[in-house]
Structure 1
């Protein structure tokens, strides 16, 4: 990763004789990559003084952060991880008041998201995971930053697990009250920087095993005594705490999904760039606009990108959706548009349609028209700016004249309704006199088809399966 990010080859590697640096796999990799190894003499950390001094700085910073909020030692790994993260975005004297992050990437780091390590925080519980009468949030402890996702790492004292979330309110002046002595006494001690790496790893593994054994013993001792009197077949089915359903795992993973707030933020992610390109491709395919010279006597409306993560029913990510939206709030009635109203189906009509299909045993279908508003033909003369990030080279002063509507335009819903209404009339459907979005087509040979329209969602049923398909 270092070679790929920096564009430079690793030629030499200096390290101590820790087990992770002396394994056969690591030695073979260095040999194949042509990396020269430089090893320090045992118990001679001064031979690698720069790294050892930095380790001391990290440990001292981590120790201060840990004791400031009176956190147990079992959080030492999260503590050290956060200390390294903060040091990388702090100015360094050796870099002439530049941060290591800026020296490595060429970009200044942001600091608006920084919070006090170990502080109390309130995490939003997604609406799909709580009852409407339950609390909207629960208390957690802030333990660091997630590097691969835009979210905070938080410790949940109830489940004793690390969770990720972006919807967090921080109370940086308040600390968690560790009233249970086991939380403070039982944990993983922070490794000593003077120990050999192999010895440190073994100590951490032993302490982890001891910690888990102690926790299991405490849970067994705290179990109700009456439960011991039950027969084996009568015991209550208590799923072990370490087991979780796949739905819970999916919901937990999706808690830290971040939708970009600006084009600059979305442009850093390949998936969002692909989503924007797909949106522009759909607009071009629809013949929505045409690039023309900027008019002198007509207002030009701005456009912006709107980003949304679409999820499946089980909470997994379906796709990233980027929508180019016109800034319709700048339009003036009577000048930029006339009619804006578009009728939608009443819920009573939809219920009646479903009930009729059930009674007659008809097939019932529902479909969503993709980019529906882009199909509405405009009657007015409307111009929009070129979208950010996709301004054509040497044509920066030109603008787009819209042939069809864009999302965000005041007249977009009406234009789409006029277009779909004209299609149904051409296809032989008759519009209901009492419901402007209900269309019926009858035939002596094909039976009947009933269609109900709700903006860009269509529900339809009928007596002829072939025609419905």
Structure 2
């Protein structure tokens, strides 16, 4: 039995056949029937698995126990379930721990916070000793400070605790993988262990410590309604307290007690973070009748001084002193009605900031707020805004008066005293000047839709600033001729005009000279791509017509992937590369030249077999164009053009850049020549003038090149 592996019976060979006894044959038939029943049950089981939306096999076995009696559910699998429900492997709890302090350090960077502290910090970095689980934390303004902080911490461990860091564990963030960090750790003989990409559980000690720190930090901020920009002091205080609290991981011991040469945990009695405190004023300028203390907020403990750290929110000045009186039950900042947000005291903001945040702070009337004058009509109306009412915002804004077709002289003069009237706008006369009251009386008889008019968001109508009278004489002629030339909309309309017919013939002749296609019979089952004509008019600077241009473009949207095109990607010069090349040329005093390739996409050779309908107006029955080169509009045209240019440059000794494939470099002795390509525009620079002239000639022979001179 191939399934169970049991032997059914033994047959003796006779005349080229195996003769089985009746007993063995019966057992064999039974085994075959059992296999058939097992396959049927398994197939039915999988059908129900799919009908129920790929229900787990364990639940399905509970629903259909009879189906599962003939096979083992654990031996089957479903690929669809693996694709749809695959999860990451679980990480078992690790019981391993370092044998001595600071032999293994876990580290992680948190941030950005989104809110800067008073000192401008928005990140913090943690260092956790695996043996004692003591946490060391540093505030950062930018991630670039990480290498310096790592050196500072390792020197601190060596000097203060007489220990050497043996292993440093972090994630794969670039601030940890940079060269200064790697060189420093290598010189110290420290092994740098990193987690796998997108696998933060492998750095779980640091990740969980960050979560614990933030949990305590939020609690400290919320308990006394501190603003969020105090998070830096709160997270430092969180680390200070956590290091002195018993830990389940350490069997009830504190991290501080396991550090070498540990001192008393609390040199000062702990106080409630964020409570009101009164700081004794030691200033020599205090007069005899002046207050002897300053009201502030308690924000933590100093790591280098035996004193409490307090802040005066009004001035932002920090104090470290023992001469403090605490009101631990009181909060400096008022309770906030918004859940999860903290109220900010008004004394922290200037008058300008109060105007900005008044709708979020206290909703009270203030005398410092200004209002915009409301028109008399709105002041007399029933729905007018009462100035004595509570002010929720810094200013009141009212709708402007109704704009009518007739503008008063006053309105014109106030909107723009130097405005020049448009050619199409008549100058105001005495008959058109009306008072505001007369206009309102006329508007009262109009329907409401006309009386309300159109809302305007500007006090400076564009008609008062932009007009034909401001144009130069030549440009005014140019603008006026734009409406005279008519661009045809159809091929028949273009062929009826000799100018456009000649332009179309010129385009067809150019494509034929370029050997863009060959005319063949339409192959069977061939997919034909369409084409269309695009007509434009080129003007001279004086406004006269330079030439009429007709361009044949392909209808790329009708192409089918895998038939008419495969790859379409074409590299484009990166802006960083452009800036580097320009900076290098300026620093080395190289000359830069700009080149432009005319009809660049027409130079690309097609690798696919593409058939196109005959151009409109030049159709031939049962014939089509088998394209050899690309046309504008094809999806692969940019790729074909760049590939042709790449082959030309490589053939003449240029090397393609690795970081940017659009950069071509040629070194000749001690001189260098650079060519940077952005679609059909090129920048040529270097210190080899002879090679630059040679390169221009080379490109001119390969393509229709236009030299735009020095850049």
TM-score (norm 2): 0.31
* Higher RCO (CA < 8 A, seq sep 6+): 1
**Structure index of larger Rg:** 2
TM-score (norm 1): 0.46
